[in-house]
Amino acid sequence: MSAALHLIMSGKMTEAEAQQYSPLTLAFLGDSVYEVLVRSALTEQANMPVQKLHSEKIQFVCAGFQARAAERLELTEAEQAIYRRGRNASVHPPKSAGLADYRKATGLEAVFGYLHLIGNTQRIEELFAAVWGMRDELISKTK
């Protein structure tokens, strides 16, 4: 388990219990799980000034980047159901994001939140590794 995941792990609940949470609650939690992973990955790459870290982080936590990642990830059937619930939730995107991208990003965050609640750190690591592995390609498509 990575150091970042170890720091954020909570008690494990059943899949049925986690599925009872609203998709926006799952996304609320998943947003923080995902951001900790991005921050950890950036910090592990290089020791750089905080302003530079923040600028780099913003590229990977924005709705456009997360939407492109969500489109490319291969999710399990259960994860697809959580993703759809998050994507279809009633959201109000900020002015900096389009509705379609914001919904897809919310879906992705809901998946990370769900996986966190059920304690599936291995799957969180797999999904994040896939996202991080395609970051250069996704960044170019986001701009």
Which positions are catalytic? 31
Is residue 112 a contact partner of residue 34, using CB atoms and an 8 Å limit? yes
E strand or H helix that includes residue 132? helix 121-133
The b/e string for 17-45 (b: 16+ C-beta within 10 A; e otherwise) is ebbebebbebbebbbebbebbbbbbbeee
Is residue 76 a contact partner of residue 48, using CB atoms and an 8 Å limit? no
Query: Could you give the CA distance from residue 92 to residue 104 in angstroms, rounded to a whole number?
Result: 13
